[in-house]
Structure 1
């Protein structure tokens, strides 16, 4: 919101918000960093949730993903937190909300401990949080994990195994049972979840990477393996933007280039001055060029100038 305040020439209010943001980030990193991930919260008795010292609920997904999405820490900590997500939380059925699951109710923690282990918020895949994990994987540039999460939370893909998945294959579920459950991989609470809207939004803004910003439209796709040829269309500033990509072109470490109306753009930004005067579509093409073997990196190259 500080950026909005800057746009309306209220720099003092904008700076107040930015100063508060920095103080919150400093406090979180001083008190909530647990060595390899961020702790979740404190309880009324002052004890921590989501610390390595806990028998259950040692690590919580949201504390890690939102640290990444909000740029709420130094990059080495964000990378370590994401590595911990991959080690402790990403499973075949999707990213778990917490681990290990609670095996007995804990009144200090609350109602989630009354669910059976591995179900819903008690060590299951809670779909809202799973979509945020997908966004975090795309933002941090971990295409492999983004692909794993995308495949795991796709109703159409998981619905092929009706014996274990149970739910409809054409509806985003609210949750999927985790590995500690008696029914791992079973989905529930379909037709009832706001995570469907989250998955749609993140698919457009992070997987396809079509994100409106102040003064520009950013194109910054995450090349999830297996998506193949993609064509996406959206309206922006009264004009139609058509984005074409083929994830089959992507290889680890490949350089991403983006052309707008046939001209390469730096940072994948479309600015109003390149919009056509008439309502003809503006064609955008995304390509990945393999790098020499010596240039391969663990995480893919982003468009030049693109933020994480």
Structure 2
């Protein structure tokens, strides 16, 4: 008898684990791409890869795409377990409301693209924004606090060391990788995180930016 590959033999070619775009693995690839981009900031286009993967996986992006949307066939607000990769169902979504994959995609958006890293008493940012985004904002509500974080692009290394002229009143500067003791903060703190295209690697940031409170 021929060796058995297990239950995936029950799926047609291109469906789920049998060659489909499986959502869990796709999200993990997104997160890995973000890690690589942070380690090699000078690699052309690396920062755009995680968000591009996000658009492949996101049901909202799939459903509204002028080509993909017509064959996707699922709700635009619920994560699919997989996307078929072989004819006649190329691009068709399968097994929607896949909450495990949805949870991972949420983590990828918050942690890998926006870069928010939460710990028990600390947080820090390691963002990997796509190049066409001028910036981003994160509002974190936790333990009675509403903390605002503004990620803005700057044009030089020196500009990372000062607050932008249009920073909100009372905002403080927070460097990439700099750990923040959030439990010691007031209820409505605001921080600006300046992003520079020529920044050092993530390892350099983590070595040079101590925790603040």
Shorter-chain TM-score category? 0.7 to 0.9
Between the aligned partners of 1:147 and 1:304, the Cα distance in structure 2 is 24
Between the aligned partners of 2:176 and 2:69, the Cα distance in structure 1 is 46
* Corresponding position: 1:201 with 2:107: yes
Give 1:109 shift: 2.0
Report SS of the residue matched to 1:195: helix
Aligned length: 187
Between the aligned partners of 1:170 and 1:121, the Cα distance in structure 2 is 23
Task: Give the conservation status (yes or no) of the 8 Å contact 2:124–2:180.
Answer: yes
Report SS of the residue matched to 1:306: helix
User: Quick one: which of 139, 149, 159 aligns to 2:35?
Assistant: 139
Between the aligned partners of 1:111 and 1:183, the Cα distance in structure 2 is 20
Task: Give the conservation status (yes or no) of the 8 Å contact 1:256–1:302.
Answer: no
Give 1:257 shift: 4.6
Question: Where do residues 247-286 of structure 1 align in structure 2 (5 Å cutoff)?
Answer: 249=153, 257=160, 261-265=171-175, 267-272=177-182, 275-276=185-186, 279=187, 281-286=188-193
Q: TM-score, normalised by structure 2?
A: 0.72
Partner of 2:42: none
Give 1:125 shift: 1.0
Partner of 2:12: 116
Give 1:176 shift: 0.6
Partner of 1:289: 196
Report SS of the residue matched to 1:188: strand
Give 1:127 shift: 0.9
CA RMSD of aligned residues (A): 3.2
Q: TM-score, normalised by structure 1?
A: 0.52
- Report Cα offsets for 1:55-95 as digits up to 9, x if no partner: xxxxxxxxxxxxxxxxxxxxxxxxxxxxxxxxxxxxxxxxx
Partner of 2:26: 130
Unaligned runs of 5+ in 1: 1-105
- Give the number of the structure with larger relative contact order, counting CA–CA contacts within 8 Å between residues 6 or more apart: 2
Give 1:304 shift: 4.3
Unaligned runs of 5+ in 2: 38-45, 164-169, 208-213
Partner of 1:74: none
